[in-house]
């Protein structure tokens, strides 16, 4: 009894000590910001990732004298967390934002146009698609750091094995389907189907120009062309050129890496990591072009300043440094992000080391439109996973699917 009391006491003391140390580290993060010490929220995956972003933060320290504390969250859950923090008034000063979602956060992000004008920022040095992605209703909500059109990644070895010519940038839907038939004859599935919003919308946009979010950012869920696009994707599955769609958005990428499918859609942000993972020769090309010519959607990310920030000018200064040519070039050299600054893009091409990447990306960028976000984009993405799955797998028609989706978007 005596000994147990002592052990219990010691344990309690140790617990208290750790709690206190946790206490002190807790009070320094989140909340206590000053002119020279700001917080920055970012999605982080792993130590390497963190180290790379820490280097960016260090650059800000040396150039602007501002200490940036990174508060990372896993990418999957970043926006859930951000919403919670914003609603509770405890958001960070510098906020990483995706172009797809900027429209959801216009109430919480500071429009940067005035600050940019005051500071004389040269906005034209940024890639126009990237910059437009950060704009909502004409107002700029963040400076872009990366951008990327959706492309088609393909397995060079499988194509060679089947004796099919490699796809060239600007290839058409007919070329795509012909290749599908040839690959199928050799027992290879051509395409990994997807219902992830960005990829699905890009494929259909390329097929016939159908889009559920108009160029003005409005939701058009009953767009007939889009429904036709869904039917086309279903036909691919039916003919055996494509796999059945799965609700897990990482499935096409996994299937591709495992050699199960010969191609799938993804953005340049995944290119380097896929290249490192796969054991075959990786190639990249544009999406198959249909009736409205080559076209694809581009998405990107950037850094904004939250309205809750007490030091917006300092935050903007930090953001400018974070998207400066020096930093973006360095990130590009590490193969991390396809830069949103035109001048830095050359560095990315040389470090990527993928044959044919440069002409493919350039061709795609030339014909890409930014996928605009909308207040209901998150809901749309969820609904695609639930309903578009049925369409692509041939259980419902494109029209039925879109009317179900439209119905749900309307009620909420």
Partner 1 sequence: MSEAVRGGLATTSNRSVNPRAVARTKTAPRPGRVRHAIGYALLCLVALLFVSPLVYMVATSLKPADQVFTTPPTLWGRSLEWSNYVQAFTYLPFARFILNGVFVAAVGTAINVAVAVLSGYAFSRLRWRGRNTVFMLFLVTLMIPQDVLVIPMYVMMQGFGWVDTFQALIIPWAFTALGAFLIRQFFLTVPQELDDAARVDGAGPVRTFFSVMMPLARPTMAVLAVFSFISYWNSFLWPLVVVNDVEAHGTIPLGLQQFFGQQGSEWNLVMAASVISMLPTVILLVLLQKHLVKGIVTSGLGGR
Partner 2 sequence: MTTIQDPPAAAAVPAVATAVAAGTATPNRQGGDPGPVGRRTWWGAAFAAPHSIGLVVFTAFPIIASLVVSFMNWPTLGARSFAGIENYARLFADPVFRTVTLNTALFVVLYVPLNLVVSLGLAAWLTPRIAGRHVFRVLFFIPTITPIVANVVVWRMLYQPGGAIDATLQSTVGVHAPNFLADEHWAMLAIVAMSVWQGFGYNMLIFSAALDAVPENQIEASQLDGANAWQTFWAIKFPLISPSVFFATMMTLITSFQVFVQPFVLTKGGPGTATETLVQYIYNTGFQNQQLGLASAGAWVLFVIILGITAVQFLGQKRWVHYE
- The residues that touch partner 1, with contacts defined as CB under 8 A, are 1, 11, 15, 18-19, 22-23, 25-27, 29-31, 43-50, 71-77, 80-81, 84, 87-90, 250-251, 253-255, 257-260, 269-270, 272-274, 277-279, 336
Question: At its nearest, how many Å lie between partner 2 and the CB of residue 19?
Answer: 16
**Alpha-carbon separation of residue 383 from 285, 390, 401 (angstroms):** 29, 11, 10
Distance of alpha carbon 315 from alpha carbon 303, whole angstroms: 10
Task: Map the footprint of partner 2 across residues 33-92, applying CB under 8 A.
Answer: 80, 83-84, 86-87
Sole binder of partner 2 in the list 2, 25, 32, 411 (CB under 8 A): 411
Taking the C-alpha atoms of 320, 322, 323 and 329 in order, what is their torsion angle to the nearest 10 degrees? 140
Which residue, 89 or 138, is less far from partner 1 as judged by CB? 89
Which residue, 26 or 163, is less far from partner 1 as judged by CB? 26
Distance of alpha carbon 253 from alpha carbon 274, whole angstroms: 8
Distance of alpha carbon 145 from alpha carbon 313, whole angstroms: 19
Question: At its nearest, how many Å lie between partner 2 and the CB of residue 108?
Answer: 5
Q: Where are the beta strands (DSSP E) in 224-295?
A: 261-266, 282-285
Tell me if 166 contacts partner 2 by CB under 8 A.
Answer: no
Sole binder of partner 2 in the list 214, 247, 291, 350 (CB under 8 A): 247
DSSP 53-90: HHHHHHHHHHHH-PEEEEEEE-GGGHHHHHHHHHHTT-
Tell me if 93 contacts partner 2 by CB under 8 A.
Answer: no
Task: Count CA atoms closer than 13 A to 78's CA, side-chain side.
Answer: 18
Sole binder of partner 2 in the list 129, 194, 368, 385 (CB under 8 A): 385
Tell me if 235 contacts partner 2 by CB under 8 A.
Answer: no
Q: Exposure string (b/e) for 334-363, b if CB count within 10 Å is 16 or more?
A: ebbbbbbbeebbebbbeebebebbbbbbeb
Tell me if 386 contacts partner 2 by CB under 8 A.
Answer: yes
Tell me if 243 contacts partner 2 by CB under 8 A.
Answer: yes
Q: Please check whether residue 97 is in contact with residue 110, taking contact to mean a CB–CB distance below 8 angstroms.
A: no
Which residue, 129 or 249, is less far from partner 1 as judged by CB? 249
Tell me if 246 contacts partner 2 by CB under 8 A.
Answer: yes
Sole binder of partner 2 in the list 96, 108, 129, 285 (CB under 8 A): 108
Sole binder of partner 2 in the list 53, 78, 105, 311 (CB under 8 A): 105
CB neighbours of residue 222 within 10 Å: 14
Beta bridge partners of 264: 153
Q: Where does this chain touch partner 2 (CB under 8 A) — which range of 20-28, 325-333, 344-352, 390-398?
A: 390-398
């Amino acid at each position: 009894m005596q000994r147990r009391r002592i052990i219990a006491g010691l344990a309690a003391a140790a617990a208290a000590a750790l709690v206190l140390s946790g206490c002190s580290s807790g009070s320094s993060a989140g909340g206590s910001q000053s002119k020279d010490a700001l917080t920055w929220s970012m999605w982080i995956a792993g130590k390497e990732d963190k180290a790379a972003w820490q280097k960016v933060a260090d650059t800000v320290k040396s150039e602007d004298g501002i200490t940036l504390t990174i508060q990372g969250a896993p990418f999957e859950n970043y926006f859930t967390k951000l919403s919670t923090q914003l609603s509770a008034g405890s958001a960070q000063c510098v906020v990483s934002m995706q172009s797809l979602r900027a429209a959801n956060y216009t109430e919480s992000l500071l429009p940067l146009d005035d600050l940019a004008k005051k500071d004389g920022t040269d906005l034209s040095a940024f890639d126009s698609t990237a910059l437009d992605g950060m704009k909502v209703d004409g107002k700029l909500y963040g400076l872009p750091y990366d951008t990327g059109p959706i492309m088609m990644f393909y397995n060079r070895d499988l194509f060679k094995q089947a004796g099919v010519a490699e796809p060239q940038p600007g290839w058409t839907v007919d070329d795509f389907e012909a290749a599908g038939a040839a690959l199928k004859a050799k027992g290879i599935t051509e395409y990994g189907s997807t219902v992830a919003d960005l990829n699905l919308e890009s494929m259909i946009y390329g097929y016939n120009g159908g889009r559920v979010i108009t160029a003005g950012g409005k939701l058009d869920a009953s767009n007939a062309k889009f429904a036709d696009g869904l039917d086309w994707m279903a036909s691919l599955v039916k003919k055996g050129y494509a796999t059945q769609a799965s609700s897990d958005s990482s499935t096409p990428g996994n299937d591709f890496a495992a050699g199960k499918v010969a191609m799938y859609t993804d953005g340049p942000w995944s290119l380097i990591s896929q290249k490192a993972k796969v054991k075959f020769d990786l190639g990249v090309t544009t999406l198959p072009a249909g009736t409205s010519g080559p076209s694809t959607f581009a998405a990107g990310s950037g850094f904004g300043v939250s309205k809750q920030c007490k030091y917006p000018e300092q935050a903007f200064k930090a953001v400018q440094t974070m998207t400066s040519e020096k930093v973006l070039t360095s990130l590009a050299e590490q193969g991390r992000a396809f830069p949103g600054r035109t001048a830095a893009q050359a560095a990315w091409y040389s470090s990527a080391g993928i044959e044919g990447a440069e002409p493919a990306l350039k061709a795609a960028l030339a014909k890409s439109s930014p996928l605009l976000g909308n207040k209901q984009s998150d809901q749309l993405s969820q609904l695609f996973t639930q309903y578009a799955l049925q369409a692509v797998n041939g259980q419902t028609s494109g029209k039925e699917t879109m009317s179900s989706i439209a119905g749900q978007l309307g009620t909420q």
